[in-house]
């Protein structure tokens, strides 16, 4: 079992479902404004304040989509996109 720390918690890198849950929690924090850093650059003439994050939401969404597919495949579910129908 190979683990990585995500937001301070150990997560099994070989379990797409656990990775999905951990990264989804990170996404919710990003949307809420957490995990965004601020910095300031000052010179004798100007002062500039910047906000930045370590990963873009588009990259995070792409990885979440990939992990959701892998998790569904691991659990025997077929996943084709945003909508799934069960009868």
Predicted model pTM: 0.65
CB 13 within 8 A of CB 2: yes
Q: pLDDT tens, 32-62?
A: 877 666 667 777 777 777 666 667 788 889 9
Q: Does residue 4 register a pLDDT over 90? A: no
User: From the CA atom positions of the chain, what is the Rg in Å?
Assistant: 18
Residues in the chain: 87
* Beta bridge pairs of residue 51: 38
Q: Does residue 87 register a pLDDT over 50? A: no
């Amino acid at each position: 079992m190979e683990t990585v720390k995500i937001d301070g918690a150990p997560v099994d890198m070989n379990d797409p479902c656990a990775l999905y849950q951990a990264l989804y929690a990170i996404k919710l924090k990003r949307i809420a404004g957490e995990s965004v850093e601020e910095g300031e650059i000052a010179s004798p003439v100007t002062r500039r304040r910047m906000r930045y994050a370590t990963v873009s939401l588009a990259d995070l969404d792409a990885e979440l989509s990939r992990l959701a597919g892998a998790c569904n495949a691991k659990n025997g579910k077929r996943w084709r996109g945003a909508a799934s129908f069960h009868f």
